[in-house]
Amino acid sequence: MVRILPMASTSLSLTSLRPLSFSSLSPFRISPNCRFGLSLAASSHPSRRLTLFHLGSVIPQVQLFGVKPSKRHRTEGNSTEAGPPGNRAQASTAVTQESALEWVKNDKRRLLHVVYRVGDLDKTIKFYTECLGMKLLRKRDIPEERYTNAFLGYGPEDSHFVVELTYNYGVDKYDIGAGFGHFGIAVEDVAKTVDLVKAKGGKVTREPGPVKGGNTVIAFIEDPDGYKFELLERGPTPEPLCQVMLRVGDLDRSINFYEKAFGMELLRKRDNPEYKYTIAMMGYGPEDKNAVLELTYNYGVTEYDKGNAYAQIAIGTDDVYKTAEAIKLHGGKITREPGPLPGINTKITACLDPDGWKSVFVDNIDFLKELE
């Protein structure tokens, strides 16, 4: 299973905290008028640290996707030979991109979990189970590395999108930043859920009511650490933990990246000029049956402060090697080359999207083995 590295507990500053398993990000700016957002989990094991290292060799792209590089020929006198290296590379890359896109679309992918840090694990678990109806799936304490993980959700990890909470000893507060938006929870009665949250001492930031410009009843609440949750009134669904909202600086760029590099589908896009923002829902299946990624673009805002609280989303794949090459071909930054984790056989690769949001791809078979 995949997790982020714990942070040191001696200080709250970014510079003194233990680094993530993936490369850290530079701080970003944020406009004050931005829409709310979401986040979720990943998994953990004392030997499953995502150390940054490169594999000894890189498999050529054409071998990865089973495509023979095409050749361009030029004639000089009576001889015919392969064209200049630049031309050959361009032809090969063009074919590989097409093949990579086709493979990505056919890969078996789903959102596995989302990871973020909390300051009081027991308090957060109590809030999620009593107010939001989640179940504590498992909990693991690693005293030698001074952190504890808890996995919560609405069903088993092999078939549901879940959250992984990370508590680092002695660290009781994190900066959520302005780039992270909210988590989405589908409930059958928003007003009833809000009443329960209030009764348990929770914070309601938006009372139940129709969404602006629509009919769906929603409300916003905050957990003990200040993470926002959007409650959406829906009928029964197999995936109540249904959204993660992140803000991006160029929506069309992000849509293109998530479609081509991640193989997601643009489920819907809605512009709200009155409130100066546009959203795009991306995912691997219909919103009513799958967890989705909600990308929000606020007019004129191109950069965001990401803080040090939200970590990453994990996604299942049949082949981390092909996944990494497809990401590279479409402008993504690989922060962890594909390969097995030290000490175990779970194969992963990690990357950043154009805005610097982190994702980890995990081999589907290896992931299921870790849950046994």
Give the number of other Cβ atoms within 10 Å of residue 34's Cβ: 18
Q: Residue 265 half-sphere exposure, CB side, CA atoms within 13 Å?
A: 13
CA 319 to chain CA centroid, nearest Å:
18
Q: Is 207 annotated as a binding residue?
A: no
Structure token pair of residue 240: 């109540």
Kind of pairing between the strands at 241-247 and 358-363: unpaired
CA distances from 338 to 1, 62, 117, 346 (A): 15, 17, 25, 10
Tell me if 184 sits within 8 A of 38, measured CB to CB. Answer: yes
CA distance 318 to 54: 20
CA distance 337 to 330: 16
Tell me if 182 sits within 8 A of 292, measured CB to CB. Answer: no
**Amino acid, single-letter form, for residue 234:** R
Helix ranges, 200-319 (H):
251-260
Residue tagged 């056989």 (tokens): 345
Which has the closest alpha carbon to 34: 270, 299, 282, 295? Answer: 299
Q: Is 230 annotated as a binding residue?
A: yes
Supply the residues annotated as catalytic.
230
Structure token pair of residue 346: 């779970």
Adjacent-strand bridge partners of 139: 150
Element (H, E) at 334: strand 333-340
CA distance 278 to 34: 11
Long-range contacts of 269-276 (CB under 8 A, 24+ apart): 272/212, 272/213, 274/213, 275/35, 275/212, 276/33, 276/300
Which has the closest alpha carbon to 145: 14, 3, 12, 25? Answer: 3
Q: Which residues are annotated as a binding site?
A: 164, 182, 230
Q: Which residues are annotated as a binding site for Zn(2+)?
A: 164, 182, 230
